[in-house]
Amino acid sequence: MNEERKILNEFHSKEKKKYNELKKELPSNKFSYYLKKLIDKGYIEKKDEFYKITFSGECYLLYLDQKNDSLSLKQPIIDVFLIGVKGNKILFQERGKMPFKGIAMPIGSRVREGKSLFETAENIFYRDTGLKGRIAYKGIIDVKSMKEGNLFVHHILHVFKIDKIKGKLKEKTSKGLNYWLSEKDYLKKKNIFKAAKEQLAFAKSKGPLFLELIQYIDQNGKFIGNKIIRNDKL
């Protein structure tokens, strides 16, 4: 499985590559074998001289633990969702990597085994932005991403608001571009989640909220709609 991950990880920065761009760390015979396995599984497709990661491949990478190559396909992915606030501006990251490449959203990352939610929120926010602030828990977003009637990704997002922010913002990181925008300007953008307004409402709430929704994705991995199941105060 480690060999398959090495190949798929080459697509983090660019969604399609030529054969020689992918073949870096593995011998030719081994590389060809694992590349064919990934194509047979539907994680990579070949068109003309280019190889491209499919949406199924992106989802596979999401569920793959990058440290030990273990899969948790029967469990939701547990993430922190960090809404940084300064005045009337909110901090967003426009992702430069798969999955969700090009989507602008608040800072987020997976919660690792043995790490607390608050510890993860504080560490990830500083690691990805260079900033520190006051952290407050704001609730849970339970979101299922569906493609052609099938569940592809299930996230449980623990939402935190971070204000009284200090430090110098890292505008560009390995994950993407960070910038401040007002909520009004952000919601005008096209490269955002369909339920962005409901997600940002967590930062304005006095108490914790619970949002459950389904996101619908087309065959190219683009978000085309959503359905709110529950939107409650806890």
Q: Is the pLDDT of residue 115 over 60?
A: yes
Q: pLDDT category, 74, cuts 50, 70, 90?
A: low
Among 24-33, 77-86, 102-111, top mean pLDDT goes to 77-86
| H or E, element range at 227 | strand 223-233
CA proximity to 160, closest of 204, 105, 121, 205: 121
Q: At what angle do helices 2-9 and 28-41 cross, to 10 degrees?
A: 80
Task: Tell me what pLDDT residue 52 has.
Answer: 87
For 164-203, the pLDDT digits (tens) are 999 999 999 988 999 999 999 999 998 888 889 999 999 9
Task: Give the predicted TM-score (pTM) of the model.
Answer: 0.79
Instruction: Report the share of the chain in percent with pLDDT over 90.
Output: 49
Task: Tell me what pLDDT residue 103 has.
Answer: 87
CA proximity to 94, closest of 86, 102, 84: 102
Q: pLDDT category, 152, cuts 50, 70, 90?
A: confident
Lowest mean pLDDT across 24-28, 39-43, 59-63 = 24-28
Query: Which amino acid belongs to residue 80?
Result: V
Pick 135 or 152 by higher pLDDT.
135
Pick 39 or 58 by higher pLDDT.
39
Task: Tell me what pLDDT residue 128 has.
Answer: 95
Indicate the average pLDDT of the chain. 86
Q: Is the pLDDT of residue 99 over 80?
A: no
Return the HEC string of 42-104: CCEEEECCEEEECHHHHHHHHHECCCCCCECCCCCEEEEEEEEEECCEEEEEEECCCCCCCCE
Q: Three-class SS of residue 22?
A: helix
Cα distance between residue 16 and residue 50, in whole Å: 6
Q: Is the pLDDT of residue 1 over 60?
A: no
Lowest mean pLDDT across 48-62, 131-145, 185-199 = 48-62
Domains and CATH numbers, the chain: 2-63 (1.10.10.10), 77-233 (3.90.79.10)
Query: Which amino acid belongs to residue 31?
Result: F
Q: Cis link prior to 99 (omega < 30° from 0)?
A: yes
Across the range 50-59, mean pLDDT stands at 81
Tokens of 74: 């029967």
Task: Tell me what pLDDT residue 185 has.
Answer: 96
